Amino acid sequence: MALRATLDTPAIHKAIEACSATGGGQVLLPPGRYLSGTVHLKSHVTLFLEAGATLVGTPDLDQYQHPTIPEFMPEARWGKWHRALILGDGLEDIAIAGQGIIDGNKVFDPTGEERIRGPHTFVFVNCRNVTIRDVSFVDSANYAIFFQISDHVEIRNVKFTGGWDGVRGGCVTCADVRYF
């Protein structure tokens, strides 16, 4: 099945914004393939991928953004190396769940880490109460999940296939991180 060239990022952002504006809830991706650059999560919002839904990272590197890494962290000097398909920055009560797939698409970056690594699949920094449950991460172009300075993180029943690496927590003040 060919992947559409049209980005679904604006539609996904519109749904997340609408959900956030009403106090939070669940943004549902039904079965289908969704091509996207960086998706910005919002506090109190769950991104739920139904079985058969696949969020796919675009090969267009200009469509990715990175969080603001606190200056005291060594990673702050690396900037674009922390770009992400899904991004949470300074949020609380966020989740990614469902039986769907998040496909990093092995996006190649000749200027990235080791002159090959592209965007991480999910990056969150300075977040609290994060749940990642039941989804599959495939072909991450860098770490599938990268987090820093975050508390109360639960990663449950998540599958990692292909790609570079699974989970990397650069936690200076991370507390209560649980893997199941």
Q: Please give the structure tokens belonging to residue 1.
A: 């099945």
State the greatest distance between any 2 C-alpha atoms of the chain, in Å, as a whole number.
45
CATH number of 9-179: 2.160.20.10
Q: Render pLDDT for 101-152 as a digit per residue (tens, 0 to 9).
A: 999 999 999 988 787 889 999 999 999 999 999 999 999 999 999 888 899 9
CA distance 150 to 37: 23
Domain boundaries, the chain: 9-179
Burial 89-106 (b: 16+ CB within 10 A, else e): bebebbbbbbebbbbbbb
Q: Render pLDDT for 17-64 as a digit per residue (tens, 0 to 9).
A: 999 999 999 999 999 999 999 999 999 999 999 999 999 999 999 999
The per-residue pLDDT for 79 is 59
Sheet hosting strand 32-36, strand order edge to edge: 32-36, 53-57, 101-103, 136-138, 159-161
Element at 17 (helix H, strand E): helix 9-21
